[in-house]
Amino acid sequence: MSNLVQRPERFSCRENRVLVALVALAISGAALGCAGTQSARVSIDGRDYFVPPGKRARHFGPGRRGRTPGGTEGEIVRALSRATGERVASDPRLQRVAELLFAEAGADLLPSEALMFAIRYRGVIDGAIADRSFESPSRASLVRQISRWASGTLRGPAPPNRVGVVVRPVTSESGDWSVRAFVLLSWHYVEVEPVPQRAKRGSALRLRARALAPFARPSVSVTLPGGAVVEHPAADGTEIQIALPTRKRGRMDVQVSAEIDGRADVVATFPIWVDRAPPARMRLRPPDSPDAFVSGMIRLANEERRERGLDPFEVLPLLGHIALAHARGRATSGSEEEGVLARLRAAGFCGDVATWSSSRWGSARQLHRERMRNAEYVRILQSADATHIGIGAVGIGQGAALGRAVHTTLIIARRGWQLGRRSCPEAPTPGAGPSSEPPPAAAAEPAPPAPGGSPPQVPPPIVPNVPAPPTSGTSAPAETARPR
């Protein structure tokens, strides 16, 4: 454009008209593009849906490392690498999701359904996802703030290694300027040959996966349409290859685990749709109240146990108190000042626990159905050694675009726990970071067609808040991947 202004003699009138038309077209196209991605919330026939813009990825797969971005985003990526001791690579798919969710809700806590639906929509399989927003008066102080957070939160034998970062200037109602960042991290520790998101019934479908260091001995759990679970034992070495059953129509959930420090962690999880189109939209339903979530989840868990001839869970008030404190920390600040295990130990509780945490719309029954897609959750729920339960639920305030949700933390304790202990045996070092939640059941139901259109997941798996198994044994309990 500077050439056009400074040396107009180089352009004929016709060329000028063409340039003006092209510039106008580019501006209008950019405006339309912005308008199209400004909000992913749509209303159809009085119902609200979350709709990621763009095309759904045809395959799940490892994706590719992107170039480190420039500017403040690049400084943040490099700061994360220094803080974690692991090379954190920019992932173009995470970047696109980060941009969408930043525009959608800014610094508000995002319920995990929207995050994980968009993540799986883009073909990301990583079993643990974390997101967090930061705000600071300057870009330099913003980078320092993120670096301090990463140093204190993300270090470990298997830290996050993929990222998408968005940085934007924002202004408050009083007119003060600041800089806000939205950081979306994933733990990418398995390479999977591309797997289609949709398969034909009876087709030959194989899963080939290779665990990345420091993980080894991968195993696979497949939840079939109807709820039956097929377990494939851990392979020797780092590679596993199995046939995926496609005999039944519906949604099949695949979960890949791998061993680190003597225990298995989920490293990938994703759904495959057999003879059905993956949903293009996710229904946003008003949630149950926090009290209804607590009572409903306990009732549904005990119904499952009674059907299998097991004694119902006993409600242990201490577990409920710890779960509520954890849920409140996640819901109010998006961060976790103390993990569940640390809170339990401080209260004198010693024993094996498993925990799941997520924020979501919908009902306790909906959440229960999603959890029942998680093979590890089902195993613990149906175990006679699991005896006590505690659940905490907190309402999350109105989000900028996605509305109200409820954050829940659930703790299940195995028999043999003790109270009043001043110290507990040391737990092994945690592995691949936070675990994720299963994909919302709402995502499994295609939305009604838009007016005049044709009918059009997430984990999880992560997802988060994906099927995510808890950590079992004496190791630290698995946390959801939302340490914001």
Q: How does residue 11 score in pLDDT terms, banded at 50, 70 and 90? A: very low
Shared domain for 123 and 161, answered yes or no, is: yes
Q: How does residue 323 score in pLDDT terms, banded at 50, 70 and 90? A: very high
Indicate which CATH number applies to the domain containing 219. 2.70.50.50
Are 283 and 49 in contact by the 8 Å Cβ rule? The answer is yes
Domain ranges, residue 23: 2-38
**Does the pLDDT value for residue 478 go beyond 80?**
no
Domain boundary among 274, 302, 330: 274
- State residue 109's pLDDT score: 46
Shared domain for 294 and 259, answered yes or no, is: no
pLDDT by residue (tens digit) across 41-92? 677 777 778 788 888 999 998 877 778 888 999 999 999 999 999 999 999 9
> Chain-wide mean pLDDT for the chain?
76
Shared domain for 306 and 439, answered yes or no, is: yes
- The SS3 of residue 369 is helix
**Does the pLDDT value for residue 322 go beyond 80?**
yes
Can you spell out the DSSP letters for 305-321?
HHHTTPPPPEE-HHHHH
- State residue 412's pLDDT score: 95
- State residue 360's pLDDT score: 67
313 occurs within a structural domain: yes
pLDDT by residue (tens digit) across 434-469? 433 433 333 333 333 333 333 333 223 323 333 333
Domain count, the chain: 4
- Which residues sit opposite 216 in a β-bridge? 259
Both tokens assigned to 352:
């094996």
pLDDT by residue (tens digit) across 243-295? 999 999 999 999 999 999 888 888 999 999 999 999 988 877 666 788 988 99
pLDDT by residue (tens digit) across 165-182? 999 998 866 778 899 898
- State residue 318's pLDDT score: 94
Residues 353 and 376: their CA atoms lie apart, in Å, by 13
More confident residue, 102 or 382: 382
Shared domain for 437 and 299, answered yes or no, is: yes
Domain boundary among 164, 190, 216: 190
Average pLDDT over residues 15-42: 43
pLDDT by residue (tens digit) across 364-416? 887 888 788 777 888 899 999 999 999 999 887 544 334 457 888 999 999 98
Shared domain for 67 and 33, answered yes or no, is: no
81 occurs within a structural domain: yes
Are 239 and 210 in contact by the 8 Å Cβ rule? The answer is yes
Domain boundary among 274, 303, 328: 274
Percentage, residues of the chain above pLDDT 90? 42
Shared domain for 264 and 326, answered yes or no, is: no
Q: How does residue 432 score in pLDDT terms, banded at 50, 70 and 90? A: very low
Are 439 and 463 in contact by the 8 Å Cβ rule? The answer is yes
Indicate which CATH number applies to the domain containing 119. 3.40.33
Q: How does residue 19 score in pLDDT terms, banded at 50, 70 and 90? A: very low
306 occurs within a structural domain: yes
- Which residues sit opposite 254 in a β-bridge? 222, 270
449 occurs within a structural domain: no
Are 395 and 359 in contact by the 8 Å Cβ rule? The answer is no
Residues 247 and 243: their CA atoms lie apart, in Å, by 12
- The SS3 of residue 83 is helix
Helix axes 92-105, 112-121, angle to 10 degrees: 150
Closest of 114, 200, 186 to residue 439, by C-alpha: 114
53 occurs within a structural domain: no
472 occurs within a structural domain: no
Indicate which CATH number applies to the domain containing 438. 3.40.33.10
Shared domain for 262 and 353, answered yes or no, is: no
Shared domain for 313 and 343, answered yes or no, is: yes
Are 432 and 218 in contact by the 8 Å Cβ rule? The answer is no
- The SS3 of residue 283 is strand
Closest of 132, 447, 113, 159 to residue 287, by C-alpha: 113
476 occurs within a structural domain: no
Residues 120 and 81: their CA atoms lie apart, in Å, by 25
- The SS3 of residue 409 is strand
Question: Model pTM greater than 0.85?
Answer: no
Q: How does residue 3 score in pLDDT terms, banded at 50, 70 and 90? A: very low
pLDDT by residue (tens digit) across 142-160? 999 999 989 888 888 999 9
Shared domain for 8 and 75, answered yes or no, is: no
* Other residues' Cβ atoms within 10 Å of the Cβ of residue 230: 14
Shared domain for 320 and 435, answered yes or no, is: yes
- State residue 193's pLDDT score: 94
DSSP 435: B
- State residue 129's pLDDT score: 85
Shared domain for 34 and 64, answered yes or no, is: no
Both tokens assigned to 415:
């028999």
CA terminus-to-terminus distance, the chain: 43
Both tokens assigned to 359:
């924020």
326 occurs within a structural domain: yes
Question: Three-state SS across 201-220?
Answer: CCCCEEEEEEECCCCEEEEE
**Does the pLDDT value for residue 18 go beyond 50?**
no
Residues 287 and 361: their CA atoms lie apart, in Å, by 5
* Other residues' Cβ atoms within 10 Å of the Cβ of residue 325: 18
Shared domain for 416 and 297, answered yes or no, is: yes
Degrees (nearest 5) of the Cα angle 294, 110, 336? 65
The helix/strand count (H/E) of the chain reads as: 11, 21
